[in-house]
Structure 1
Amino acid sequence: MKNAIVMSLLTVVLFFGCTKDPIAPAELSSNPLLSQLDKDIDALVQKHRNALNTVGMTVGFWKDGESAIYGYGETKKGNQQVPDAHTFFEIGSITKTFTATAMVQWLNEKGLSLESPIQPFLPNSIPTLSKDGVMVNFKQMLNHSSGLAYFPSNLNLLLNDDAKELARYSEAKLFDYLEKGKLNATPGTTYEYSNTALGLAGTILARENKMTYGDYLRLKMCEPLGLFETKAQLSAEEKIRMADGHRGGKKVDLWESLGALDGAGILRSTTSDLLKYGAVCLNPPNTPLGRAMSTAQVSTLKNAKNLIESVEVCLGWHQLKTADKTGTLLFHDGGTGGFNCSLILDKEKKLVLAVCYNSYNGGSKAEAEARTALNHDLLLLLR
């Protein structure tokens, strides 16, 4: 949810608070240091280690059908257990890529277009969501050009406990905000990253299909793709494999529910599943779901107000050219109260990179730069 937007090559924009003193992952690792690649990846992690500000982390990649996952630090502070391929992390806004794909598939099933207005799928009490005579459509809702705010104004995360406040954010509150609020810009003209919009997309999917967002995503997307470790709610056994989240070195509550904003960032996943998801995105199957995945990866917004020139927006995803202009990166970052994850796809090199941290330390510049630099260095190494 606390999203990191890539600029030159994953330059991070962060949104919350100040960090406390930096912490480094404990001197624990599952990296076997056998191959030259093992050693090179370890050298990059060690290069940035002190500034990464995390209790634990994983680095995983998939390329040409081969994958590897390396763990560093601890799943819970002081437990001496290194995170592995099947450790669960909150993946935050990476959820948005799932929401957008699921919405595209649902629209196709309904015979609707991305250009269709969202208004018919909202309660009658909500005035037409429009500005300057332009109504919000599904494409704009999914590519952050709807004019809907970053967060609804009646959700105050700066003064309340994140986890509890989000869990209390009901459909009634979301619809009350939509009844009283106004769009910040004419739909389709301005890039404004919006948890509100993608949360609303998830709520529409849940309401129209008479089930929770998590159940809908499980049935329509995760299970068909074999992503059995990507879900909104964990079983008792899976909770044992859930890492603790940390902020400023201290344990924080997990985000068990985002209420009506689930579609913006509720999912938990493992590094193994993120790599599997990325690999399928690089080569979607010839199925209704696969075609929806392909559609979600097509650029739908560029050269818009507030959008960095090198970045284009797809549906749920962002993309940009590599620094050497030889490839296209599809990416999303995800941050919650105690976690941060990055998922990056290199479409030309058929490469997937997933980096997960069980710490979100408030968005210090040094931490952001270190995590960005590690992503950059890993991509250069693996390409």
Structure 2
Amino acid sequence: MRTILYLAITLLLFTTTSCLKDESETTQALKTNNPLITDFDLKINEIIAPYAMKYSTAGVSVGIYKNNQTFYYGYGSKKKGINSIPDSETLFEIGSITKTFTALLMVDYLQSQGLSIEDPINDYLPSSIPLLEYNDHPIRIKHLLNHTSGLPRLPSDFESGMDINNPYKHYDSTKVYNYLKTFTLQKEPGEIWEYSNLGAGLAGLILERKNHKSFEQLLLEKICTPLELNSTKITLNDNDKQNIAVGYNTYGFEAHNWDNMNAYKAAGAIVSNAKDMVEYGKNILNSQSSILKNQIEDCLNISYQSSSIKMGLGWIYQTNNDIEIILHDGGTGGFTSFIIISKSKNTAMVFLFNNILSESDLGFVNDLITEILN
């Protein structure tokens, strides 16, 4: 059985293995807005409560769409030490789940222009960038969206000038393009899956370059407005800053918000809440009735498959107890997030945490997914 554990360790935007260490098992009082009325309420509480009572836990906002019903549950605190349970409106950084939005934006652009995911990316880059190919096989647009481009996770010079509290702030589009001018592919694009934040960031730069608009402008115009995702954005206003949960790093300290991801916005800059993310998940789940039907369907088509992973564009396919799920997760300096969709079970679920999960916590997440699906 494939589980989400594989993903959560692999897809964090920028972290080290120290972020996966187990934390103190000291407990705290349970804080929740779960009404504890129905059997479903009680079962969800049975699984989440032990995690929520761990002293290392900050908070979690859960959104579930199942059998045409929507459920929201909050546990813990928006900020440690304050009695403020996160709810469906509380904002969280969603990290790499952003990449699913990036894929949708790219497909929307290509469809509108009669272009193809098979196009070489050099067709969309400045002419000063040498041809990015290996043995006459170029990097194509689809390779940026399914992590088979052959580009590294991050450029080799990425850590030069990096602020660990806001690690993408220093790396702009000029640095990306300068890096690509000296980069040499070591493998054929499309052959090997290797997670690449650089590839996703580059997809965003292409979108900005060809549309003459910022990534956030495109996000709001092409996805958030038509799908009515009114709290999904990158730039926060004063009210948003009061409503975003405080993130906590692996050591339990308050984490700086990743509020400037510069050239890597398309890799992980979006902020959202459980309400919006459930609505987004419903559109992926019920793609045939979505206003973005054609774009979503293209993103869900399998674009890469190996013995270890199956990819759409932006989305990853796995199984949970033989049930196929479509998913992505995300991690920033103080937040962890998951979105999981099962078409066969007519279910979409979102888990938003304002702390980094330990390796043992990932097992609890998998148990929660299993229970909701069953």
Alpha-carbon distance in 2 for matches of 1:381, 1:106: 35
SS in 2 for 1:360: coil
The within-5 A match list for 1:194-213 is 194-213=196-215
Q: 2:326 is aligned with what amino acid?
A: L
Alpha-carbon distance in 1 for matches of 2:102, 2:363: 25
CA contact (8 A) 2:345 2:373 kept: no
Alpha-carbon distance in 1 for matches of 2:113, 2:342: 32
The within-5 A match list for 1:224-239 is 224-239=226-241
The within-5 A match list for 1:92-103 is 92-103=95-106
CA contact (8 A) 2:32 2:76 kept: yes
Residue matched to 1:18: 18
Residue matched to 1:364: none
1:333 aligns with 2:329: yes
Q: 1:349 is aligned with what amino acid?
A: K
Among residues 293, 297, 308, which one is paired with 1:294 in the alignment?
297
SS in 2 for 1:222: helix
Residue matched to 2:310: 312
Alpha-carbon distance in 2 for matches of 1:369, 1:8: 17
Among residues 56, 78, 83, which one is paired with 1:80 in the alignment?
83
Alpha-carbon distance in 2 for matches of 1:16, 1:156: 13
Alpha-carbon distance in 2 for matches of 1:268, 1:216: 15
User: What displacement does 1:382 show?
Assistant: 4.0
Q: 2:177 is aligned with what amino acid?
A: F
The within-5 A match list for 1:116-195 is 116-156=119-159, 160-195=162-197
Under a length normalisation based on structure 2, what TM-score does the superposition of the two structures give?
0.92
Q: For 1:53-78, what per-residue CA distance to the aligned partner results, in whole angstroms no more than 9, with x for missing partners?
A: 43111222111221111111110121
Q: For 1:309-329, what per-residue CA distance to the aligned partner results, in whole angstroms no more than 9, with x for missing partners?
A: xx3111000002332x2x320
User: What displacement does 1:25 show?
Assistant: 6.8
Change (3 A) 1:273 1:288: closer
Residue matched to 1:91: 94
CA contact (8 A) 1:345 1:353 kept: yes
User: What displacement does 1:242 show?
Assistant: 0.4
Alpha-carbon distance in 2 for matches of 1:150, 1:50: 35
CA contact (8 A) 1:10 1:376 kept: no
1:9 aligns with 2:12: no
SS in 2 for 1:251: coil
SS in 2 for 1:345: strand
The within-5 A match list for 1:39-118 is 39-49=42-52, 53-118=56-121
Deviates most, 101-110 or 59-68:
59-68
Alpha-carbon distance in 2 for matches of 1:111, 1:286: 23
Aligned length: 364
CA contact (8 A) 1:275 1:354 kept: yes
CA contact (8 A) 2:162 2:168 kept: no
CA contact (8 A) 1:25 1:72 kept: no
Q: For 1:98-151, what per-residue CA distance to the aligned partner results, in whole angstroms no more than 9, with x for missing partners?
A: 000110110111111111111021111111111121001111111100101111
SS in 1 for 2:235: coil
SS in 2 for 1:37: helix
Q: 1:97 is aligned with what amino acid?
A: T
CA contact (8 A) 1:58 1:83 kept: yes
Alpha-carbon distance in 2 for matches of 1:346, 1:221: 21
CA contact (8 A) 1:51 1:370 kept: no
Change (3 A) 1:160 1:51: farther
Change (3 A) 1:52 1:110: farther
SS in 1 for 2:31: coil
Q: 1:233 is aligned with what amino acid?
A: T
Residue matched to 1:4: none
User: What displacement does 1:50 show?
Assistant: 5.7
Change (3 A) 1:25 1:328: farther
Alpha-carbon distance in 2 for matches of 1:144, 1:193: 5
- C-alpha RMSD of the superposition: 2.1
Under a length normalisation based on structure 1, what TM-score does the superposition of the two structures give?
0.90
Structure 1, unaligned stretches of length 5 or more? Answer: 1-6, 362-366
Alpha-carbon distance in 2 for matches of 1:212, 1:162: 25
SS in 2 for 1:203: helix
Alpha-carbon distance in 2 for matches of 1:44, 1:210: 47
Alpha-carbon distance in 2 for matches of 1:10, 1:344: 9
Identity %: 33
CA contact (8 A) 2:52 2:59 kept: no
Q: 2:229 is aligned with what amino acid?
A: L
SS in 1 for 2:83: coil
Structure 2, unaligned stretches of length 5 or more? Answer: none
SS in 2 for 1:291: helix
1:243 aligns with 2:225: no
User: What displacement does 1:26 show?
Assistant: 5.4
CA contact (8 A) 2:58 2:248 kept: yes
Residue matched to 1:359: 355
CA contact (8 A) 2:58 2:354 kept: yes
